[in-house]
Amino acid sequence: MKETFLYIFKFFAAASLFPAVIGTTAALLAGYSSFEASVRDMLQLGLGSYLFCRLFVYDFSHVYLFGQKVVASLCGFLKPLISTAPFVLPIYTLFVLLGYMLATAIGQIETFRPFLLFLLSFTIVMHIVMTAGDLYAKDNVPGKPDYFFAMSLIYLVDIFLVALVSGLILPGFSFPEFFRGMVDKSGDVYLKIFRQLF
């Protein structure tokens, strides 16, 4: 009985996050749509390149696992974070964003911007896809309630972190606008679902 109740609770908890996932994704895309075409092209190229490599060339599992080990070692002094931090923190994306900040500080951002934007998109997509695969494989319960809840939560945290840092270093991306868009769009989805149900 207890296991059944827990299963149902996890299922509804996961479902309750889906509107936020939709709203957050829409807000991020709206924020990046304000960039000039060359910037959008590099971001799309990074996304497409990862998916192509994943499907036809190399799955990057060893690269992903190495990144997880790095995060685990960095968070080793905080015991509760050791098990969750490798899934939540997109370490390669954070390194790319640090590289962007460094290139800006030394006045070389025009030279490196296309490459860094490509890597930004490539690494965040890699992190989300690889994390989803890892969590999916670990959830043996029918319906995958743990997977859907954990992956939705991780996705929201990752996109929030990327938007926050993007707002600090990428000209033309406004984190306050992203946050308002996230709240408004997520609220719209929740409201539409509520009206459909009641």
The single-letter code of the amino acid at 173 is F
Q: What is the pLDDT along the chain (198 residues), one digit of tens a residue?
A: 667 777 777 778 877 888 888 888 888 888 877 777 777 788 888 889 998 988 888 888 888 888 888 777 776 666 665 567 677 778 888 888 888 888 888 888 788 888 888 888 898 888 888 888 888 888 777 777 778 888 888 888 888 888 887 787 777 778 888 888 888 888 888 888 777 776
What does pTM read for this prediction? 0.79
Please state the separation of Cα 14 from the chain's center in Å.
17
DSSP 1: -
**CA contacts within 13 A on the Cβ side of 27:** 29
**Residue 97 has which token pair?**
């964003």
CA dist 21 and 27 (Å) reads 10
